[in-house]
Structure 1
Amino acid sequence: MDYEAGTYQKLPIKQYPARELGETAEGRYWRRFLSPATAKQAGAVNYLEFCPVRPYNLAVTSSTRVLVYDGATRSLHRTINRFKDKAYSASWRADGKLLVAGGQDGIVQLFDVGSRSLLRQFKAHKRPVHVARFDPGRMHVLSGGDDATVRWWDVSEGKQVSRWEGHSDYVRAAAVNPAAHGTWATGGYDHVCKVWDARSAQSVLSVDHGAPIEAVAFFPSGSVLVTAGGTQVRVWDLFGGGRELACLSNHQKTVTCVTVSPNAGPDSSAAPRLLTGALDGHLKASVREGVYELERFQVTHIQKYPGPILSLGLSGDAGLLAVGLADGTLTVRKHAKPRADPAKAGILVGRRSRRAPALTAATYRYFIRGQSSKAAAKDSVIAAERKAALATHDKFLRKFRYRDALDAALSTRRAEVVASVVEELAARGGLSSALSSRDAAGLGPLLDHMRRNINDPRHAPQLAALAHRLLDVYGGSEALTGMLPALTLLLERVELELRAQDGLTRVQGMLGPLLAASVGAC
């Protein structure tokens, strides 16, 4: 008996959750970085920093030189050779016109980038100066040295304004609070990070990192401080009196550098982004999650480099990523930003804007006009009656030809279609008739489908029940002899899955105590 198409409801295909998560905006951001441009330096790249203004030129400190690379072309633009010994920590002024750098001889030097001329020398440190930073106000410089002191200099007068004492070992890191320019954080090998008020030259807060501090950074809000040293990165809540928010132990060796991107960059909704580099050669990107008391950081990207990482930087627009290695290799990767649609952005195509041709009967658009128009809120919409387009298995189900419906579903080689048809046949009581009276050739597609999907947890329960039904129907028949090779392959697939599950259970049991111990260590 046949029924009209209008009285038959199409079989809904089962929808399963995706086995893998789709690509996120963060994943697209990292995937669109182009191949790196590399340059070999005379010595280890101990520090690098992008200019705060476009085109985001890059200052690289290596050996006895400071090199400036053009942010647009990634080629060498300037070389400053004014150091008698090793140079350290060349940093930009906010307008990108001046550079300040420390040195092995304990002298802090100030340079004009355009002319490469030496403008100032600050001499007060007794030991090497590894930290030199410009104040956002442009008129002061902060420096930290191996003499365990932090000094505050006036650029216009070339004199020391104040000396900040409180560290008991080398000072190797410093950062200014982006939300409060008079607040600085310094970290030293005494395991302590101190927060200073530049106006009073007094320490207002101290936190113990638990290892020699190699780098410090602020989040854009200014309320969260990051310290890096040893194999751990710690996150502190400044408004909470220095309360520790998180302890990240994602690296196997000493974390040497850390930076926080104030800009999420193109194709990314995750801001800010925390980047860390370590002597294990890994660069890891983490994103902050959580609100109020619940704080955690999720690693979203990992890059492996051929040597220990000493320095890293991300440009202000998150479009350039630079990494410096201990062997003197400098790599700069540029982000391939997606091009804007000229039609959406309102950009003229070519020299003149394209005009739409006149709408006359001589054009094809004249005969399809109005098809893309949308109904207004007050318009009455009359839905056009469309004939149901039935799939092959639906046509057979409509005619109660259950065996043909099952064969049609198997021919699609889509597991969700087969699962839907088998479930419908079981509900109608026609599964036995669909399976019976088959020879070995007729059972082949069904057994092949079971072998391919028996280890999928979404389909395993249904296929296991279907296998039992087959054995009940064909037990002791001649068709069973022809099914033996296929049944043997199915059995091997099941045994392989059981061994894999057993191995995963053992690994889970071993990882449990290790994870608990690592959490306790933090």
Structure 2
Amino acid sequence: METFKKTYVAPFQKSSVPISPDTLYWKKFTPPILLKEVNLVDFIDVSPIEPHFVAVTCSSRVQLYHPITRMIHKNYNRFKEAAYGAVFRNDGKLLLAGSDECAVKLFEVTSKNLLRVFKGHQRAVHRCAFLPTDNQIVSFSDDKAVIQWDIPTEKIIHKYEGHSDYVRSGTVVDSNPNLIISGSYDQTVKLWDKRAQDNKEMISVNHGSPVESVIMSPSGSLLFTAGLTEIRVWDCLAGGRLLSKISQHHKTITCLRFATNCKRLLSASLDRHVKVYDMSTFEVVHTYDYSSPILSMGITPNDKALIVGMTDGIIAISRKEEESAQDEVSSEQIGQHEESGRRRKGKKLYSDYAITDSGVKEVEYSSGKRYDTYLRKFRYSKALDEVLSDYYYNQHPAATVAVIQELIRRDGLKTALAGRQGRQLIRVLRFLVKHLRRQRFMRVLLLVAHTLCDMYAKEVGQDATVDQLFLRLCEEIDGEVLYMTELLELQGSLEMIVAGGDLVRDNGIHSLSSASAPVIISDSTAKTQQASSTSPTTRLEPSKKAKEAVVVKLKS
């Protein structure tokens, strides 16, 4: 019985289809940095002004994170119970949040002072918003009501009642400050006009399932509603006519956001996916995958950072690569400035490296290096990123190769190289192209080049810059192979010349010994020598038998 399993031969892979500019654009976001909160992240909002602080509503507090440093900037904890839906005003100076206390609270961003408390709801307030003009706000509550408030007096201006279930979503229209939109678990979305005297809805549409999120286009013409696994698009100018249904998720959609100056629509879902849609065709142009179900999402202006909040309390912050590269350059400059100050104090900064047969070996241990910190924490990718920066690339490539050697020793090279896109992959390739042909680095970098080609062979064709660097790497390897071939040919020629010189020297010594000591050689040997003497081009060495022939010394 034959039990041998035949080797699987993969079919020839066709050239990849050209990737759209949208996909390349959204792939520029770096892998997310994960932050842990104490409970599920209910809502995320981004300040409209620099530096675009991120307001994260979680449990009984609202925390402001810096989008670049990912550190907590401020903490608003003036809540006795759970807080919900904290949002910024359009000037970024005020922060509004609902709560389980049946109240809406207004904070000053800079001082964290609690400025106003709006009480009038009978149940929890999950969403609230600032009206674009006038000093007014609007709140959406589980008591099925929508209330418009006056900020200076904390009094109710209008109360809109028309829903028959919890109102868990709502928004306002920037282009028309008189319109208020509310979405309810009674499956309806209502548009209210605060100029109406009877407080009746102007438009009411039925989504067909409990509404989790609503958003209006800046022009005020298109209304997007999300409930269960479907997004519906409504034409408000036509009285709420249904334009399209988008169903790309397989679990409940929890959040909608605009991006790229409202040219793209983002949706987050409990299926752990964030999808990007083209507003002109409503087709998916890119998808992000996360580790847990997503409850909230925010994106900064000009798409500089994408922030996602999940049910397990994890906040994932991804930034555009161009911005990250600038931050790294600035951090490198700061690090160089600090190190120059230490150099003035007489402290040794960089360890020495010795050339060995196996590669580059560190001679002295240098404490305080950032890549050593990453290695101790098993953050292999960050350690490799650190030594691939321009500073090490230009001035201390031996440190980079030493870290790569340590990654190989720890069996962490594939972990460090995995998941790289765009600029991160370009850094590795440009280092290989520049330093591969250096004799002391070659053995280590060849292994890196082989590993990189195996891991990213299927990615070829997605980025022109990466493709060009792979071609240059191939040219460098071909050039090194040709160079080594020429050296081997030269070595063979030198060995022949040396062997010929040794032969001439040995024959000269033999002729001198023959003149001083006459010998008698056997007949067969004489015939052999006679035959060899007739050949003008062939010169033979005495054979073993010839050397063992009887030699008779002549007596004096």
Common fold: TM-score over 0.5: yes
Partner of 2:105: 109
Mark the CA change 1:179 to 1:21 in structure 2 (over 3 Å): closer, same or farther. Answer: farther
Matched, 1:85 2:81: yes
Question: Shift of residue 55 of structure 1?
Answer: 1.4
Aligned positions of 1:251-330 closer than 5 A: 251-261=249-259, 263=261, 272-289=263-280, 296-330=281-315
Question: Shift of residue 31 of structure 1?
Answer: 1.3
Partner of 1:243: 241
Question: Shift of residue 330 of structure 1?
Answer: 0.5
Q: Which of these residues, 44, 52, 57, is aligned with residue 48 of structure 2?
A: 52
Distance 1:335 1:67 in 2: 23
Larger radius of gyration: 2
CA RMSD, 1 decimal:
1.9
Q: Could you tell me the percent identity over the aligned residues?
A: 40
Mark the CA change 1:51 to 1:248 in structure 2 (over 3 Å): closer, same or farther. Answer: same
Q: Is the 8 A contact 2:304 2:323 kept in 1?
A: no
* Unaligned 5+ runs, structure 2: 1-13, 326-556
Q: Is the 8 A contact 1:94 1:138 kept in 2?
A: no
* Unaligned 5+ runs, structure 1: 1-17, 264-270, 290-295, 341-522
C-alpha distance after superposition, 1:232-277 (max 9, x if no partner):
11111111211111111111111111112252xxxxxxx5111111
Under a length normalisation based on structure 2, what TM-score does the superposition of the two structures give?
A: 0.54
Q: Which of these residues, 220, 223, 233, is aligned with residue 231 of structure 2?
A: 233
Q: Compare relative contact order (CA 8 Å, sep 6+) and give the higher one, 1 or 2.
A: 1
Mark the CA change 1:339 to 1:229 in structure 2 (over 3 Å): closer, same or farther. Answer: closer
Matched, 1:171 2:175: no
Partner of 2:118: 122
Aligned positions of 1:137-216 closer than 5 A: 137=133, 139-200=135-196, 201-216=199-214
Partner of 2:418: none
Aligned positions of 1:21-36 closer than 5 A: 21-36=17-32
SS at 2:96 equivalent: strand
Question: Shift of residue 143 of structure 1?
Answer: 0.2
Mark the CA change 1:70 to 1:339 in structure 2 (over 3 Å): closer, same or farther. Answer: closer
SS at 2:148 equivalent: strand
C-alpha distance after superposition, 1:183-215 (max 9, x if no partner):
121100000000111232431101100000000
The one-letter amino acid paired with 1:281 is: R
Partner of 1:448: none
Distance 2:163 2:46 in 1: 28
Distance 2:260 2:29 in 1: 18
Q: Is the 8 A contact 2:169 2:214 kept in 1?
A: yes
Distance 1:121 1:220 in 2: 30
Distance 2:55 2:134 in 1: 18
Distance 1:71 1:24 in 2: 28
Partner of 1:435: none
Partner of 2:72: 76
Aligned length: 311
Partner of 1:475: none
SS at 2:302 equivalent: coil
The one-letter amino acid paired with 2:300 is: S
Partner of 1:332: 317
C-alpha distance after superposition, 1:427-449 (max 9, x if no partner):
xxxxxxxxxxxxxxxxxxxxxxx
Distance 1:178 1:140 in 2: 14
Distance 1:232 1:212 in 2: 11
SS at 2:282 equivalent: strand
Distance 1:328 1:140 in 2: 32
Question: Shift of residue 136 of structure 1?
Answer: 1.6
The one-letter amino acid paired with 2:279 is: R
Question: Shift of residue 138 of structure 1?
Answer: 5.6
C-alpha distance after superposition, 1:395-454 (max 9, x if no partner):
xxxxxxxxxxxxxxxxxxxxxxxxxxxxxxxxxxxxxxxxxxxxxxxxxxxxxxxxxxxx
Distance 2:320 2:135 in 1: 34
Aligned positions of 1:509-520 closer than 5 A: none
Question: Shift of residue 216 of structure 1?
Answer: 0.4
Distance 1:109 1:74 in 2: 25
The one-letter amino acid paired with 2:207 is: H
C-alpha distance after superposition, 1:161-196 (max 9, x if no partner):
110111111001111112212212110000000011
Distance 1:159 1:256 in 2: 31
Matched, 1:96 2:92: yes
SS at 1:126 equivalent: coil
Q: Which of these residues, 57, 62, 65, is aligned with residue 61 of structure 1?
A: 57
Under a length normalisation based on structure 1, what TM-score does the superposition of the two structures give?
A: 0.58
Distance 2:151 2:17 in 1: 53
Q: Is the 8 A contact 1:100 1:111 kept in 2?
A: yes
Matched, 1:37 2:22: no
Distance 1:55 1:74 in 2: 12
SS at 2:85 equivalent: strand
Mark the CA change 1:262 to 1:141 in structure 2 (over 3 Å): closer, same or farther. Answer: farther
Distance 2:111 2:202 in 1: 40
Distance 1:179 1:72 in 2: 31
SS at 2:78 equivalent: coil
Question: Shift of residue 288 of structure 1?
Answer: 2.5
Q: Is the 8 A contact 1:129 1:144 kept in 2?
A: yes
Question: Shift of residue 338 of structure 1?
Answer: 7.8
SS at 1:317 equivalent: helix
